[in-house]
Structure 1
Amino acid sequence: MQFGIFTVGDVTQDPTTGRTPSEHERIKSTVAIAEKAEEVGLDVVAFGEHHNPPFAAPANPPVLMANVAARTSTLSLSTATTLITTNDPVRLAEDYAYTQHLADGRLDLMLGRGNTGPVYPWFGRDIRDGIELAIENYALLHRLWREENVDWQGKHRTPLQGFTSTPRPLDGVPPFVWHGSIRSPEIAEQAAYYGDGFFANHIFWPASHTEQMVGLYRRRFEHYGHGRADQAIVGLGGQVYMARNSQDAVREFRPYFDKAPVYGYGPSLEEFTSQTPLTVGSPAQVVERTLSFREYVGDYQRQLFLIDHAGLPLDTVLHQLDLLGEVVAELRPAFEAVRPEHVPSDPPVHPRVAPAPAEEVLA
């Protein structure tokens, strides 16, 4: 099972000091966080895409991913999210294939519609076409990575005639794709149709909603003949804040939660942690809560945590990563001990980064 972190790249005032980092500081700290993630033994870091304040997340994630790839050796790089609605699928095909080469295959991506309504008109799109754009644009992206001399006629972009996207995917193997959604069953259906991964962000909604979305994806994955429902490739988001004892964790995190740009000024910390997967407490509590996710989504392949949101300073985030490394060391064997043999333990990866078969290792 893969464990990692994702970031939305918000530039937020630290409510305990009143200090707001510069965009430059936030961008450089994102790289430092990724390097630390590899150091503590995490598998993957995923970077968000935003085009508006208060975010310094890259408008073009491949730039950041290529930089991090050059500074790491084992870390898989992903996105959280690549906007399939407002980006041109031709440009996505080119940019991510190029970055896949630079990363020697250590790359996949998560597609989504995004959660910022105004981004649509900024790129000449209509938010009312969001689902339609996601479906049509991915249909083209999927073909561009698998076919040369593509002829294309759609509703939302100019036609293509004999077009070849360059560079071609590394060794002819396209990056693995996750379809991320919080609330849209159409996206779960899309992921199932292609046999791709489905990522439920899982940080805002109760367990019952996530259970329904993942269940739909699993049933449709089997319907389309990609394997049994329990073999479908599932990823979950989550958020944690840890201290050695739970009282300190709650005390330290409360001011950040209360003024967070995404969920602040709403339900109390206690209400939010009881109704969503947000876990604020000791490492042992995080282990116990995370293991419980399997009870309603089944065996899954990727778990990502948000740990750098809401103005938390870099030193605090790096300490959270040290604690998360300890948590993951317990989660790995615990999840694998109950996973049936026929269920994949990891999502698909490029052959260049896949572990060698046992017989090759022994030879």
Structure 2
Amino acid sequence: MTTRTRPAIKGRGSTGYLPGRFAVTTADAVDDGWHDADTEGDPSSSPHTVLHEEVARSVITRNSSPDIPFEQSLNPYRGCEHGCSYCFARPSHAYLDLSPGLDFETRIFAKTNAPLILRQELSKRGYRPSPISLGINTDAYQPTERKLQLTRRILEVLAETKHPVSLITKNALIERDLDLLAPMARENLVHVYLSITTLDNGLSSRLEPRASAPHSRLKTVARLSEAGVPVGVMFAPVIPWVNDHELEAVLEASRDAGATAAGYVLLRLPHEVAPLFRDWLQAHLPDRAAHVMSTVQQQRGGRDYDSRFGTRLRGEGVYADLLARRFALALKRFGFEGRRHPPFDCTRFVPPRAASPQGELF
């Protein structure tokens, strides 16, 4: 399954509409001579973002993967306008019979009733609090959040009920919610990670075209840290021969900004992400595309991706081992080694009270 190699689309991470793996029929643009196939006649030449409302029946997702350090997650949005070319969540749009390519970053589904449903789920008898990771599959602070404020309303519910939450984002918009995050931090109810993939603005604008620029993310790390919010950095994903040489520089800059924890994840290319990323390489880095994918496959047992627990986030082989050693040395060098965010306090949780037609007496 491959896409037709096309020129890069300004402001987008995909180069075309890759059919999802469940698609029964597919369509392909054909130049009939009436238009320039790469511009006016091709709808993918200037795709606009379309927002859809999704009415959710439930919002808390339970996780049992041994690779992931959380049991519960919540995603206010499906799809992500940041348009990261490597996003492991792209294949989820195939379940909606949409393209994991341009549709994933232009057809955004917002769970507009998520704050209400979250309140209902937290009030259920027998609910036991466990930290909720907010925006794991797609970024909870992507551009449409500025208008919809779904993430903020969810945080308001979590702050009211004193429920622990962790967040990871590529967007400086999280600073908007410091009035909620800072008080929660004082009660050990929140951890935040900024995903910083590169310090090169030019590379960032191609890898993750609608995310905040690297210097903006570092400023966000500093502002969160100054407000007392435990903040870390994720150097993710590590892409061989694209950004891997920046590992130490990113960790040092993040340390200087106030980050107190760090992690990394190796590039993951499940399902449709592999052909999409191959097309991205051909459009932006054709001179090293073959070398990048060869190294990726060396870490994945000769394939584009290996989904086994224990190896899918770190890979295996010579390159993966060297990367792990580099990271360990960088942690020690920049003072991250042995440092941990304060543990979450789940004992403060107060279930939300159901609304009563009689109102409140006290």
Where on the TM-score scale, by shorter chain, does this alignment land: which range? Answer: 0.3 to 0.5
Q: Could you say which structure has the larger radius of gyration?
A: 2
**TM-score, normalized by length of structure 1?**
0.45
